[in-house]
Amino acid sequence: MKRKARTAMKYDNGTIALWRKFLDWEWYEDVNTKAVFLHLLLTANWKDKRWKGILIKRGQRWASRNTLAQETGLSEQKIRTALRHLEATGEITIKATSQGTLINVEKYSDYQIQSGEADQRANQRSNQRPTSDQPLLNKDNNNNNIKGTKIPPSREDVQRYISEKSYHVDADEWFDFYESKGWVVGKTKMKNWKASVRTWEKTWERENQKSEPAGFKELR
């Protein structure tokens, strides 16, 4: 029997935090349950987004068993069993609606990196020459990055900051805009990119003062 081809997926570049204590997770040795849970962590919304008039929050996604089967290469029966395991131990909640099935990763934030430190460490290591006398981390640059004063920031830092704050700003749009401007605000060199993101968020809030779609409360 031929195996179904996996559905092509495109997701924003970014990372999740997977700590070593995950090795002690009760489903770790269950390969299928572990695979489905990690897949949900990687494909859940990293920021609130609207889909067909419904707000899908951070840590949530729409998916049927068939969709998950195509994305992971597992059978629908294995997907069903894995979802039942995850729901039984409180890793996820599942809400069936007329529009589809809403899956919520309950502790999504526990798997998110809280600052740009990890990416900066990785970037610095890849850019450094492999000599023993070079430092692995420039602490001053790292502190500046956390404060939002490192200009330009990496695209991943911007995406992560927006995700941490649950902002609605499109990270790619913001990054591409200021990259095209040479990281200048008006006629002045940008000093704090996080402040700029907050300004964009305030603008978004003013322009999107709309009530939630009818029936959305039932999805919660």
Answer yes or no: is 219 within a domain: no
Q: Tell me, what amino acid is at 203?
A: T
Element (H, E) at 188: strand 188-189
Instruction: Say whether both 106 and 150 belong to one domain.
Output: no
Strands (E), 41-141: 49-51, 54-56, 60-62, 92-97, 100-105
Q: Give pTM, 2 decimals.
A: 0.50
At 89-126, the pLDDT tens digits run: 999 999 987 777 899 999 898 888 765 555 555 555 55
- What is the CATH classification number for the domain harbouring 48? 1.10.10.10
Instruction: Say whether both 139 and 92 belong to one domain.
Output: no
Instruction: Say whether both 94 and 39 belong to one domain.
Output: yes
Q: Tell me, what amino acid is at 66?
A: N
Instruction: Say whether both 186 and 105 belong to one domain.
Output: no
Cα–Cα dist 16/37, whole Å: 13
Answer yes or no: is 3 within a domain: no
Of 37-51, 60-74, 144-158, the least confident = 144-158
143: containing domain: 115-127+135-207
pLDDT of residue 205: 82
Answer yes or no: is 84 within a domain: yes
At 175-190, the pLDDT tens digits run: 988 988 899 888 889 9
Instruction: Say whether both 106 and 119 belong to one domain.
Output: no
- Identify whether the C-beta of residue 61 lies closer than 8 Å to the C-beta of residue 45: yes
Query: Burial of 13 by CB count in 10 Å (0-12 exposed, 13-18 middle, 19+ buried)?
Result: exposed
Res. 146: pLDDT tops 90: no
Number of domains in the chain: 2
Instruction: Say whether both 93 and 120 belong to one domain.
Output: no
